[in-house]
Amino acid sequence: MWVLLRQQSEILSCTAILFDRDCLISIFNNLRAFNNLTTDAEWVLERSSKTSGFIVRPIGNVDEEGLWIGEYRKNTITREERFYDEDVKTIRKIVEGCKDEEDVKKKLGIDILKEKLKSEIVQDFRYFWCPEEKGILKCPNVEVIRDSLRNESENSKGVIRCFEVVDAISKHNSCPYTNMYCPLKDPNEYNRVLSYIKLLKKYHRNDKIELGDWDSIHIKFDDSPGQIRTGVPSYLSNDQRLLPNSLYA
């Protein structure tokens, strides 16, 4: 559904999607408050318990279809951008096709927005928490760390020292999705290793991982078809955390 903002000859979609740094996503499918982008957005924010993030809303005029992105902090829009180009058409269709928050999670992750849009607001956006642990996105470093460890494993007949795992994680733990909490940047090196092994078992269920002596791990990598888990798995809640004894089973 669309409404016409006559003062600016701008057409506003009644759908808007909110991405919050607390790993929250909200969708509004019948937004017809004031027919003004900033005022509408702040009206929504006043009625939501959000911290900071951005809102995406399709817009248009007589000749073009576009996308409005508004950055917010608490209840105030602090920065906004408008885009009228080919890159936004796909995003617009996805936004207008989303019916609820689950639709958004499946079709329009922050990774897609960062890839498709040249928006400074989107590119600057980071979650407070690890989106992998919240079940939003797959950790972008799982595979590159695995490749590094596989090279080490081939050179050492499957035995990898813990310090080599720590070293591989340290070289490949930058994340475009969070700049606050990342389990692969835990101050405790042992916790970093455990966090990564959990990720490895989550996405590569046929990889055989066994605890050797006090500082070694035996890994047999399996790249057979069908064993790699794709998409975003359900994340483990606090009471389901794997302890070291079960982690290597």
Is pLDDT of 114 > 90?
yes
Confidence of residue 180 (pLDDT cuts 50, 70, 90): confident
Confidence of residue 235 (pLDDT cuts 50, 70, 90): very low
Q: Which helix (H) or strand (E) holds 57?
A: strand 52-60
What residues does 131 pair with on adjacent strands? none
Residue 106 domain boundaries: 2-124
What residues does 2 pair with on adjacent strands? 13
Residue ending a domain, among 124, 151, 167, is: 124
Q: Write out pLDDT tens, residues 80-102.
A: 999 988 878 889 989 988 888 88
Burial tier of 168 (Cβ tally within 10 Å: 0-12, 13-18, 19+): buried
Residue located via tokens 């408008």: 82
Residues 116 and 175 in one domain: no
Residues 9 and 120 in one domain: yes
Least confident range of 14-18, 75-79, 233-237: 233-237
Is pLDDT of 184 > 50?
yes
Packing angle of the helix pair 142-155, 189-203 (nearest 10 deg): 100
Residues 152 and 116 in one domain: no
Looking at the 3D structure of the chain, how many domains does it have? 2
Residues 59 and 96 in one domain: yes
CA-nearest of 205, 209, 207, 204 to 246 is: 209
Over residues 220-224, the mean pLDDT reads 79
Residue 84 within a domain: yes
Give backbone dihedrals phi and psi of 226, rounded to 5 degrees, phi first: 90, -10
Over residues 114-131, the mean pLDDT reads 93
Confidence of residue 233 (pLDDT cuts 50, 70, 90): very low
Q: Write out pLDDT tens, residues 22-46.
A: 988 899 888 776 778 998 999 889 8
Residues 106 and 153 in one domain: no
Residues 173 and 117 in one domain: no
Residues 100 and 160 in one domain: no
Report d(CA 162, CA 217) in Å as an integer.
Answer: 7
Q: Specify the pLDDT at position 87.
A: 78
Residue 105 within a domain: yes
Residue 135 within a domain: no
Is pLDDT of 129 > 50?
yes
Contact by Cβ (8 Å): 125, 19: yes
Over residues 212-229, the mean pLDDT reads 69
Residues 110 and 147 in one domain: no
Report d(CA 155, CA 207) in Å as an integer.
Answer: 17
